[in-house]
Amino acid sequence: MIIIKGIGASPGISIGKAYVLEDEEIVVTRTEIPRDRLRAEVARFKAAQKATHRDLDAAEAKVLKLLGKNHAKLIDAHRLILRDTLITQDVPKRILSEGVNAEFALSEALEAVNQQFEKLEDEFFRERRHDLFDVGKRLLAHLLKHARRSLADIDHSCILISRNLLPSDTINLQESRILGFATDLGGKTSHTAILAQSLEIPAVVGLSDVSRRVKTGDTVILDGEQGLVIISPTPEAVAKYEKAQAAEHEAERALEALKGLPAVTQDEKRFQLQVNLDTPEELKAVLALQADGIGLFRTEYLFMNRPTSPTEEEQAKAYSSVAKAMAPRPVVIRTADIGGDRLTQMGIEGPKNETNPFMGLRGVRLFLRHLDLFKTQLRAILRATAKGDVKIMIPMVSAVAEVQAVRRLLNQAIAELQAEGVALPKMVELGIMVEIPSAAVLLDAFLPHCDFVSIGTNDLIQYTLAVDRVNEHVSHLYDPFHPAVLRLIHNVVTVAHRGGKWVSVCGEMTSDPHAVPLLVGLGCDCLSISPRMFLRVKETVRGLRHAAMARLVAKAVTCSDSEEIRRLMREQGL
């Protein structure tokens, strides 16, 4: 039995056989494709060709900027290869005639040409085959990205082990029978971890080498609470964890009694407890919680794993169904926060290959470069106001000018819809995420331009402490109890209340029952929580005295380190 310690990313225990996902080296296997799906396979190959062309365009722009025109011509050689009949004709022909997958047809075609190249006497020409393989690798990478989507097709119960899992992979797990997953990379508030919680899949991340230590078929136990992976457990360990699993289910059943009860503290202070919604598919489970609303609808997942952006119609339908189901309770729809670790396959110019993606073209920055996409989403959200209490929220705001630009675009969208005869409410609230320190510090300047604020602690902590939220090497420094973080939140709540605006918190800090006493004491009006932790947090809130927590916070903001704050809390039995 081997026990590896990582970071608990999503609570719960799972026990099962491992399925190890190879993703670092490109392994091409031969898969027979049924006759009726061969055309689709060719289309998949063509999509990869297109994506590779886009890669080359992006690479060319970069080389042009850094090295100038002459060097940029190098890219032309790759472009020529991509247009060669070897790629454009031979590969589709092989797919159709041999009935095989695109990856296999491509690698066979490349190998055939490689053998021809090897026969060449001229070393210069012989070495050109490396260009050919570079292009081949790019194509394969695109094909395999799509192939990895077949994660959803894993048809047996298993625990997924991999080096990394992107949010776009994770979202596919909701249709699969994955019992849990463990990865070498990642942090507690990575979007992959947050999704795992939403989908109620136990997960452990930041295990450094679990993908090399586990083999497909090994029995493993995953302890998402403690952040442990146990490989080849003894029968005693299995029995112990089975017991813990049963106790966990029992505790969850006991929490059901809290459904429908208000989130009120012992001294009668009422809080709004809302939920974070990652995909419309989770709506049914969310409704069962009887929350006070949806405090954050992360719409970016509607844009993932697809070659084109969702149409206005499609988005309006998705937002309307959520608004209708929750009415009359509010639904805060956040405009897509694409970028960082959440990339799309839509080929949007910008966020690919950035050195610091979390500080790059993300959220509102990206959408202000793509006003067409932005306006489409705003129109779709506005159309959903007919079905319920819908509010709009902007992610990644760092400057007042961004909010003003969004306000202008929103006004345009409103005018357009009204001209088209669409009835809209007199006022649609526009809020901002406070998740970049500049917005927290300068909040008074933002307030005249927005109707409410929501503190995104996941990013606020990452940017305040300079700790990449997906980097396991610095995860020990990611600290919601850091006094600098508390002072920033304190400032936001004080300034917003002074300006007559309500404050919500929607980062993962709201889902940590240990941190919730601080948020209660800080006087946030609303906590928006991951559905998995909703009832546990409600239990915590109902057990607290607000006045005592406010006194605790008054002391906490004068502390110089988080250990001091934790000690203060321990002294009060928290």
When CB distances are held under 5 to 8 angstroms depending on the partner's kind, the choice from Mg ion, ligand PEP, none that residue 294 binds is none
Residue 557 to residues 442, 477, 483, 549, Cα–Cα distance (Å): 19, 19, 6, 12
The reply on whether position 278 binds Mg ion by CB under 5 A is no
Q: What is the DSSP string of 464-529?
A: HHT--TT-GGGGGG--TT-HHHHHHHHHHHHHHHHTT-EEEE-SGGGG-TTTHHHHHHHT-SEEEE
Residue type, 489: I
Query: Would you count residue 459 as binding ligand PEP (CB under 6 A)?
Result: yes
Whole-angstrom distance, CA of residue 184 vs CA of residue 192: 13
Among the listed residues 142, 146, 191, 490, the single catalytic one is 191
Contact call for residues 7 and 475 (beta carbons, < 8 A)? yes
**Number of residues near ligand PEP (by CB under 6 A):** 11
Give the residue with the Cβ less far from ligand PEP, 41 or 337: 337
Using CB under 5 A as the binding rule, whether residue 300 contacts Mg ion is answered as no
510 binds ligand PEP (CB under 6 A): no
Backbone φ, ψ for residue 380 (5° rounding): -65, -40
Smallest distance, Å, CB 222 to Mg ion? 26
Q: Which stretch binds ligand PEP (CB under 6 A): 40-48, 264-272, 410-418, 456-464?
A: 456-464
H or E element, residue 295 = strand 294-298
CB atoms near residue 227 (< 10 Å): 20
Tokens of 64: 């042009």
- The span from the CA of 559 to the CA of 382, in Å, is 44
Stretch that binds ligand PEP, among 131-139, 367-375, 457-465, 536-544 (CB under 6 A): 457-465
Catalytic, 559? Answer no
Task: Figure out which of the listed residues 138, 146, 163, 298 binds ligand PEP, where binding follows CB under 6 A.
Answer: 298
Q: Is the peptide bond before 328 cis (omega within 30 degrees of 0)?
A: yes
How many other C-beta atoms lie within 10 A of the C-beta of residue 409?
16
Selected from 11, 12, 431, 456, the binder of ligand PEP by CB under 6 A is 456
Binding residue for Mg ion (CB under 5 A) from 103, 341, 435, 512?
435
Stretch that binds Mg ion, among 125-133, 146-154, 346-354, 454-462 (CB under 5 A): 454-462
In angstroms, give the least distance from the CB of 443 to Mg ion: 16
Query: By rule CB under 6 A, what string of x and - marks binding of each residue 162-201 to ligand PEP?
Result: --------------------------------x-------
Q: Which of positions 25-64 make contact with ligand PEP (CB under 6 A)?
A: none
Catalytic site includes residue 506: yes
Does residue number 507 form part of the binding site for ligand PEP (CB under 6 A)? yes
For the CB of residue 365, give the shortest distance to Mg ion in the complex, in Å.
Answer: 13
335 binds, among Mg ion, ligand PEP, none (CB under 5 to 8 A by kind): none
CB 529 within 8 A of CB 511: yes
392/390 Cα distance (integer angstroms) = 7
Which tokens hold the place of 291? 């929350």
Smaller CB separation from Mg ion, 190 or 309: 190
Please identify which residue in 357, 431, 456, 483 interacts with Mg ion, judged by CB under 5 A. Answer: 456
Catalytic choice (158, 450, 506, 524) = 506
Whole-number minimum distance, CB 189 to ligand PEP, in Å?
A: 7
* CA 155/CA 144 separation, integer angstroms: 19
Q: Which residues bind Mg ion (CB under 5 A)?
A: 435, 456, 459
> Which residue numbers are catalytic?
191, 506
